[in-house]
């Protein structure tokens, strides 16, 4: 199976490469290899690569910046997806596209199911939803949330840095979701491909947390591993106390039961995966 991964330098792109099955004839590209906003360049590169499967792990993820740069976010999150779909249509291949909990408005009384109506409340969410709309029934859409990985740019590593710099932190406590280890997400994507799955699936780690809960867990686990010298005061604050240009869904748990049923596995709790990621982080020095 000839597989092309976009977003090779990102957290998920790296995990997909590390965890690729032996039967995958793998190539991975990043922004230095092709400009996703250049339609002609992208089309030409896809013709040269001629993959049977594209796993699109590339995205414009600067959520707040997208509010003032929606055109660029759309070019990467939607227009480039359309080009990938066209290429796979012509070549008889499949697109695996990774999307986000931000396509929902956060008002659901329960975890979001794959077929729930979308109602994005930010430019980032809108452009990701537009990207989803380009997919065919034969393609595979995997939504996820709150992704982190050792060595990446993410909430976990930001918290560790701030905990080493400050005596007190305020962290939002009224946004609820589930942290997701990129390595687990990568394993799920490869598993879904092995099952020849198509349609929409969700993946996040088991359990629920606020950003405040997540930060407290990071502090406790990081202290045990020597990544921080002491736990600073961590104060729960409201979204209103920490205003941002982009609105965030207040509740974005994803219902992953269909994914787990198909793969026949049991999801790890987010705290267990956090602990493993921090062990890897400590090993990086």
Establish if 200 belongs to a structural domain: yes
Q: How confident is the model at residue 55 (pLDDT cuts 50, 70, 90)?
A: very high
Catalytic (active site) residue 212:
no
Q: How confident is the model at residue 156 (pLDDT cuts 50, 70, 90)?
A: very high
Q: Of 126, 116, 228, which Cα lies nearest the Cα of 169?
A: 228
User: What gap in Å lies between CA 59 and CA 56, rounded to an integer?
Assistant: 8
User: What gap in Å lies between CA 14 and CA 4, rounded to an integer?
Assistant: 13
Q: How confident is the model at residue 38 (pLDDT cuts 50, 70, 90)?
A: very high
Establish if 76 belongs to a structural domain: yes
Establish if 215 belongs to a structural domain: no
Express each pLDDT in 60-109 by its tens digit. Answer: 999 999 999 999 999 999 999 999 999 999 999 999 999 999 999 999 99
Establish if 163 belongs to a structural domain: no
Cβ-Cβ contacts under 8 Å for 146 (sequence gap 6 or more):
101, 155, 177, 178, 179, 180, 204, 214
Q: How confident is the model at residue 201 (pLDDT cuts 50, 70, 90)?
A: very high
Q: Of 78, 44, 42, 46, which Cα lies nearest the Cα of 60?
A: 78
Establish if 191 belongs to a structural domain: yes
Question: Which whole number is the average pLDDT over 170-187?
Answer: 98
pLDDT of residue 253: 98
Q: Cβ(130)–Cβ(77) under 8 Å?
A: yes
The CATH number that applies at residue 78 is: 3.40.50.720
Q: How confident is the model at residue 285 (pLDDT cuts 50, 70, 90)?
A: confident
Active-site residue, selected from the candidate residues 60, 112, 124, 148: 124
Q: Which domain holds residue 56?
A: 2-146+178-206+253-267
User: What gap in Å lies between CA 210 and CA 282, rounded to an integer?
Assistant: 24
Q: Is 264 exposed, middle or buried (0-12, 13-18, 19+ CB in 10 A)?
A: exposed
Q: How many domains does the chain have?
A: 1
Establish if 246 belongs to a structural domain: no
User: What gap in Å lies between CA 209 and CA 270, rounded to an integer?
Assistant: 9
């Amino acid at each position: 199976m000839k597989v092309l991964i976009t977003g090779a330098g990102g957290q998920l792109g790296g995990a997909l490469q590390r965890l690729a099955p032996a039967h995958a004839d793998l190539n991975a590209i990043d922004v230095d290899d092709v400009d996703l906003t250049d339609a002609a360049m992208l089309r030409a590169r896809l013709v040269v690569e001629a993959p049977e499967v594209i796993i699109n792990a590339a995205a414009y993820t600067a959520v707040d910046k997208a509010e003032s740069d929606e055109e660029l976010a759309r070019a990467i999150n939607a227009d480039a997806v359309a080009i990938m779909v066209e290429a796979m249509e012509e070549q008889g291949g499949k697109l695996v596209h990774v999307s986000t909990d931000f396509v929902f408005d956060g008002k659901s009384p329960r975890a979001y199911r794959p077929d729930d109506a979308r109602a994005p409340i930010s430019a980032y969410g809108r452009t990701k939803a537009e990207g989803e709309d380009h997919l065919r029934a034969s393609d595979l859409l995997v939504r996820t949330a709150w992704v982190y990985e050792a060595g990446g740019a993410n909430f976990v590593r930001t918290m560790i840095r701030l905990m080493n710099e400050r005596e007190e932190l305020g962290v939002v406590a009224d946004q609820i979701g589930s942290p997701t280890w990129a390595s687990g997400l990568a394993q799920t994507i490869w598993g879904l491909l092995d099952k020849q799955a198509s349609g929409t699936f969700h993946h996040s780690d088991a359990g629920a947390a606020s950003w405040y809960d997540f930060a407290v867990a990071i502090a406790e686990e990081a202290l045990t591993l020597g990544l921080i010298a002491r736990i600073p005061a961590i104060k729960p604050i409201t979204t209103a106390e920490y205003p941002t240009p982009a609105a965030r869904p207040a509740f974005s748990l994803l219902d992953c039961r269909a994914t787990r049923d198909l793969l026949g596995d049991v999801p790890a709790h987010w705290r267990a995966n956090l602990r493993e990621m921090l062990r890897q982080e400590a090993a990086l020095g």
